[in-house]
């Protein structure tokens, strides 16, 4: 079953997607949770269609940056449907454990189904928790990962600081997130896809009525680019901060050490 450390925000009247990108704190969090609850059942399929299957490769590369540890413990923040948690689990050793945490109950329930099908229930625990208030004791995890989560939090510096707090000294944080394409022509193409084609696909193909496919590109546009995210990590106290661009910088993997 999905365990709850902090319940997801209560639902209410849906807010316009365009407003979510400028909100912060609880208002943003509530709107985001409503949208992801609505699409949880088709999230994996839509990801595959909209990324042309690239998200599988991005996640595999992200997991490869997690150091292998014997009897290790890892936390995947914003685990959603548990793809990344499943890839990280083998890197924690034979007796290792992974906690897949997400604020959204519906998304995490889909992840739990996947964990059960893969026979990893004893190795991966699904836990409902807020990235800004994780609730674990200090210095608990050898590694923390996030995949397409950080741009959805209400307070990015607080979430990054909380992630660092629960990591062991010397632990590694690996963050996969959409970023800024490095080539001008690719930025133009990506903007057209994100702001024109993606919302159309979301409406016509995915039958989305929540506005999530308008919110997603807006959230990417307002999220720190590669260098600015490095600065956020350094200001939180991380060291050895670096990043690797994938697919021309459409996504980037940031790696940092406590």
How many angstroms separate the CA atoms of 154 and 236, rounded? 16
Domain locations along the chain? 26-181+224-257
CA angle 57, 63, 68 (to 5 degrees): 145
pLDDT tens for each residue of 196-240: 887 777 666 656 666 777 788 888 889 999 999 999 999 999 999
Q: Are 124 and 82 in contact (CB under 8 A)?
A: yes
Least confident of 3-17, 98-112, 163-177, 194-208: 3-17
How many angstroms separate the CA atoms of 134 and 106, rounded? 18
How many angstroms separate the CA atoms of 80 and 113, rounded? 11
Q: Are 87 and 143 in contact (CB under 8 A)?
A: no
pLDDT tens for each residue of 2-59: 554 433 333 333 333 444 444 555 666 777 777 777 777 777 777 777 788 899 999 9
| Sign of the torsion angle spanned by Cα atoms 160, 75, 218, 11 | negative
CATH fourth-level superfamily of 26-181+224-257: Vaccinia Virus protein VP39 (3.40.50.150)
How many angstroms separate the CA atoms of 39 and 145, rounded? 23
> Token pair 């697919």 is at which residue?
247
Model pLDDT, residue 3: 55
Query: Does the pLDDT value for residue 111 go beyond 90?
Result: yes
In three-state secondary structure terms, 241 is strand
Closest CA to 147 of 49, 77, 209, 226: 77
């Amino acid at each position: 079953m999905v365990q709850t450390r902090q319940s997801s925000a209560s639902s209410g009247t849906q807010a316009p997607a365009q407003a979510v990108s400028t909100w912060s704190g609880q208002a943003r969090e509530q709107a985001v949770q409503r949208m992801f609850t609505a699409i949880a059942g088709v999230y994996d399929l839509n990801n595959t269609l909209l990324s042309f299957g690239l998200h599988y490769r991005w996640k595999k590369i992200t997991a490869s940056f997690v150091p292998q540890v014997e009897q290790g413990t890892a936390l995947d923040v914003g685990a959603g449907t548990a793809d990344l948690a499943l890839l990280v689990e083998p890197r924690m050793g034979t007796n290792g454990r992974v906690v897949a945490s997400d604020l959204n109950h519906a998304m995490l329930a889909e992840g739990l189904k996947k964990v059960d099908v893969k026979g990893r229930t004893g190795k991966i625990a699904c836990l409902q928790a807020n990235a800004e208030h994780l609730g674990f004791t200090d210095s608990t995890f050898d590694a923390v990962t996030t995949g397409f989560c950080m741009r959805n939090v209400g307070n990015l510096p607080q979430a990054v600081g909380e992630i660092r707090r629960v990591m062991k000294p010397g632990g590694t944080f690996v963050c996969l997130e959409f970023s800024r394409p490095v080539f001008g022509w690719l930025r133009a193409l990506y903007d057209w896809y994100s702001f024109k084609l993606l919302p159309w696909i979301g409406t016509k193909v995915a039958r989305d009525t929540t506005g999530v496919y308008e919110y997603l590109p807006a959230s990417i546009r307002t999220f720190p680019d590669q260098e600015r995210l490095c600065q956020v990590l350094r200001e939180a106290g991380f060291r050895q901060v670096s990043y690797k661009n994938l697919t021309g910088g459409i996504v980037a993997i940031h790696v940092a050490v406590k």
